[in-house]
């Protein structure tokens, strides 16, 4: 039996020995009931330790590939050989991922409180009781911390058992649509791309509603008469407009009178730079018609992957009866729970809001001075704004300069004059330099 081991390939010698013998058995090179070399013989032939041989043989025994006979040795078990040609490793063709300057959904990582998160993480991972499964809906400690946080900051009113955790709003939206038996929907246009992706994957019937200067067009909502409406009222994506209080009340009254559920994605609500945020729809709703969603990926860091939803009573009970689950590690939930309950999140958001507010202010002041003919929308809230070049078709230049067109989030290409500018990751100076290069080409 020829066996070749390589001490320099990074794999343990016992694993190499085990794999070599296993491969020869499965290929039929060593026949059933053939006797294998003794442990002492392999030790001498391969110049390896007895421990290495014993570990390899024990692995083969555990998988029933060999059996031992007392005072005789090891023999190959009776097994069926694989009837297949040698497997080729396939080449997977993947679509090329686009890279954008001034991207959305990214942050300045230098402002993340890494030391605090690292210390909390160390303490949480020392809790051995978290190694076993927890509650399907999410850890009580996290849901309690979120309940207090949302009530104080967003006016959300609910019990802890109405709060559910998930790795993303996309994941939670899929759960909601399952609970609602995959309904017809009305969505904003232009609108949040995740919603369109979920609807497309689930092949749901949907209609679009225009977005006006004060939020979603309620005439469109009424005319479609769908049982579910999805909106981003606090900072509409991507236009940046805020749903007015008047329209919020009208929408909630319509939902009550027509047995409609409103899915409220509270996108970017923490980052309002002028005045106090308007109360959440869920907080205004007295009739249990609102499904509230939010994420901590924007306020902390994008790779966190932790979102929350608040369900009405009937859907909460259905969630539990359907035995749905959150799919977020218990450790990560407890890290975020402590980060919130110990006051770090509020202090972090207050600090970050000032940083992004100053950055936004400096960029807009430069734009107003250097390019007074451009229009800016959505700069009062969030980490992006809309830059509009009236009477100019900038679609080709947007593509050339690797920027993000507003058309990317619209069903119709009616925004050839608009680009979306993310301010999260790049410095003020780099953002201004990129925009200056772009706008010089627009207005040359």
What residues does each domain of the chain span?
A: 13-76, 112-346, 354-442
Distance between CA atoms of residues 355 and 427, nearest Å: 11
CATH of 13-76, one of 1.10.10.10, 2.20.28.120, 3.30.70.1140, 3.40.50.720: 1.10.10.10
- Beta strand 384-388 with 375-377: parallel, antiparallel or unpaired? antiparallel
Distance between CA atoms of residues 262 and 228, nearest Å: 6
CATH of 354-442, one of 3.90.1010.10, 3.90.1150.10, 3.40.50.150, 2.70.240.10: 3.90.1150.10
Per-residue confidence of the chain (444 residues) as pLDDT tens digits?
788 888 788 788 889 889 989 988 888 888 889 999 999 998 888 888 999 999 999 999 999 999 999 889 999 998 776 666 667 889 999 988 888 999 998 888 999 999 999 999 999 999 999 999 999 999 999 999 999 999 998 999 999 999 999 999 999 999 999 999 999 999 999 998 999 999 999 999 999 999 999 999 999 999 999 999 999 998 889 988 889 999 999 999 999 999 999 999 997 777 777 766 677 999 999 999 999 999 988 788 889 989 999 999 999 999 999 999 999 999 999 999 999 999 999 999 999 989 999 999 999 999 999 999 999 998 888 889 999 999 999 999 999 999 999 999 998 888 999 999 999 999 999 999 999 999 999 998
Distance between CA atoms of residues 100 and 308, nearest Å: 28
Are 66 and 77 in contact by the 8 Å Cβ rule? The answer is yes
Cβ contacts of residue 354 below 8 Å, gap of 6+? none
Tell me the torsion sign for CA atoms 424, 427, 430, 431.
positive
Query: Looking at domain 112-346, which CATH architecture does it have?
Result: 3-Layer(aba) Sandwich (3.40)
Taking alpha carbons only, the member of 49, 48, 22, 50 closest to residue 36 is: 22
Structure tokens at 226: 């769908």
């Amino acid at each position: 039996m020829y066996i070749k081991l390589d001490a320099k390939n990074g794999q343990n010698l016992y694993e190499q020995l085990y794999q070599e013998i296993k491969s020869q058995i499965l290929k039929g090179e060593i026949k059933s009931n053939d006797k294998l070399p003794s442990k002492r013989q392999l030790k001498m032939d391969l110049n390896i330790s007895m421990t290495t041989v014993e570990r390899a043989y024990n692995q083969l025994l555990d998988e029933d590939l060999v059996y031992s006979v007392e005072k005789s040795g090891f023999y190959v078990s009776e097994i069926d050989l694989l009837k297949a040609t040698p497997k080729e490793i396939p080449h997977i063709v993947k679509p090329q991922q686009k890279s954008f300057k001034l991207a959305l959904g990214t942050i300045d990582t230098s402002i993340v409180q890494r030391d605090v998160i690292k210390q909390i993480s160390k303490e949480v991972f020392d809790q051995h009781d978290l190694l076993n499964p927890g509650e399907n809906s999410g850890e009580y400690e996290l849901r309690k911390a979120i309940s207090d946080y949302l009530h104080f900051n967003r006016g959300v009113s609910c019990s802890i058992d109405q709060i559910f955790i998930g790795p993303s709003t996309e994941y939670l939206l899929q759960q909601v649509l399952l609970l609602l038996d995959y309904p017809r929907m009305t969505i904003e246009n232009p609108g949040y791309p995740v919603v369109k992706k979920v609807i497309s994957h689930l092949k749901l019937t949907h209609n679009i509603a225009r977005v006006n200067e004060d939020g979603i067009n309620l005439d469109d909502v009424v005319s479609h008469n769908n049982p579910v409406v999805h909106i981003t009222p606090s900072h509409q994506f991507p236009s940046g407009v805020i749903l007015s209080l008047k329209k919020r009340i009208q929408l909630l009254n319509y939902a009550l009178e027509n047995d409609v559920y409103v899915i409220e994605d509270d996108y970017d609500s923490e980052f309002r730079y002028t005045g106090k945020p308007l109360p959440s729809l869920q907080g205004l709703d007295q009739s249990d018609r609102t499904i509230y969603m939010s994420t901590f990926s924007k306020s902390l860091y994008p790779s966190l992957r932790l979102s929350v939803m608040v369900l009405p009573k009937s859907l909460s009970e259905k969630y539990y009866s359907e035995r749905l689950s959150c799919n977020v590690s218990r450790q990560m939930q407890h890290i975020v729970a402590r980060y919130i309950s110990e006051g770090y999140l509020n202090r972090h958001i207050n600090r970050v809001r000032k940083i992004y507010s100053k950055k936004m202010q400096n960029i807009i002041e430069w734009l107003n001075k250097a390019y007074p003919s451009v229009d800016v929308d959505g700069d009062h809230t969030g980490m992006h704004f809309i830059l509009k070049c009236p009477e100019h078709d900038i679609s080709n230049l947007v593509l050339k300069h690797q920027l993000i067109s507003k058309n990317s989030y619209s069903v119709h290409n009616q925004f050839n004059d608009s680009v979306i500018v993310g301010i999260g990751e790049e410095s003020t100076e780099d953002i201004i330099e990129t925009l200056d290069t772009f706008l010089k080409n627009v207005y040359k």
